[in-house]
Copies of this chain bind each other. A is one copy, B any other.
Amino acid sequence: MQNAIDHIVCGAAICKFYTDETLFTVIEFQHVNKWYGSLHVLRDIQLKIERGEVVVVCGPSGSGKSTLIRCINRLEPIQSGEILVDGRQLSDPRLDLRALRTEIGFVFQQFNLYPHMTALHNITLAPMKVKGLARAEAEKFALALLERVGMQDKAGAYPANLSGGQQQRVAIARALAMQPKIMLFDEPTSALDPEMINEVLEVMTNLAKEGMTMAVVTHEMGFARQVAHRVIFMDEGQLIEQESPETFFKAPKSPRTKLFLSKILSH
């Protein structure tokens, strides 16, 4: 454990940790379909995300972006197709779902911090209960993470007393506390006041630079341009386009993508 902390705390080391290995698919969607009742929300999705890759998902409201990434850690079940995480099939009945989830960090639009716990306690809960870490050790690690997201001085604060941006940074630290191999973000900045968006994007950018595998649903096109390796456009449950940011913004193929970009970029 001590080792792991050192890894996390010095970002560079982490980067090494992930990129030393040869490129390797960590998330794979194979012909995935999902319905809510009669609503077909994911249509034959095929998608691979490689280790260390940062993928931005965008698309109109209701197009299935949230559903897509929520399927990865099985917050939502799928009805057909297969999702593989690190080579393991999610549909496998012998799969230890909890262990898998500890490898996947999830950050929500609405932060979802536990309101009755301090920032520090929010972060230490899972390491203590799931990994069985001693309090002292968990707290040491949590403080390191808080420092990393620039929140070291707010360890004792309750969520209600933090601004949106601060809450989201704590939520990121909480997800990192389980030392995940993959981080998923569902519109992490869209509930934030504009001045606070940057502080969160900065934390995410650093994480990406350190080599974390990330799937990010967001409309922050600046972030997509600068940080993403690939941008995915979804519409009506379909994966319409996946391109490098340059191609995506300069020469989108599908007319739907063009229309969407024109709406979202002009203001």
Contact = CB atoms under 8 A, between A and B. Distances in A.
A197 B260 contact: no
Contacts of A198: 263-264, 266-267
A195 interface: yes
A52 to B, nearest CB: 23
24 contacts: A60-B193, A60-B195, A61-B163, A61-B193, A61-B195, A61-B196, A194-B219, A194-B263, A194-B264, A195-B260, A195-B263, A195-B264, A196-B263, A197-B263, A197-B267, A198-B263, A198-B264, A198-B266, A198-B267, A201-B267, A220-B267, A222-B266, A222-B267, A223-B267
A267 B263 CA distance: 17
DSSP majority for the A interface? Answer: helix
Nearest to A60: B195
Interface of A: 60-61, 163, 193-198, 201, 219-220, 222-223, 260, 263-264, 266-267
Contacts of A267: 197-198, 201, 220, 222-223
Copies of this protein chain in the complex: 2
A260 B163 CA distance: 16
A192 to B, nearest CB: 9
A196 B219 CA distance: 12
Contacts of A223: 267
A258 to B, nearest CB: 13
A198 B61 CA distance: 14
Given A61-B196, A197-B263, A201-B267, 16 more contacts: A60-B195, A61-B163, A61-B193, A61-B195, A194-B219, A194-B263, A195-B260, A195-B263, A196-B263, A197-B267, A198-B264, A198-B266, A198-B267, A222-B266, A222-B267, A223-B267
Nearest to A226: B267
Contacts of A264: 194-195, 198
A166 to B, nearest CB: 12
A162 to B, nearest CB: 13
Contacts of A220: 267
A33 to B, nearest CB: 25
Among A163, A195, A196, A266, the most chain B Cβ lie within 10 Å of the Cβ of A195
A263 B60 CA distance: 26
What 9 A-B pairs are tightest by C-beta distance, nearest first?
A61-B193, A194-B219, A195-B263, A222-B267, A194-B264, A198-B263, A60-B195, A197-B267, A198-B267
A199 B21 CA distance: 48
A152 to B, nearest CB: 21
A163 B263 CA distance: 15
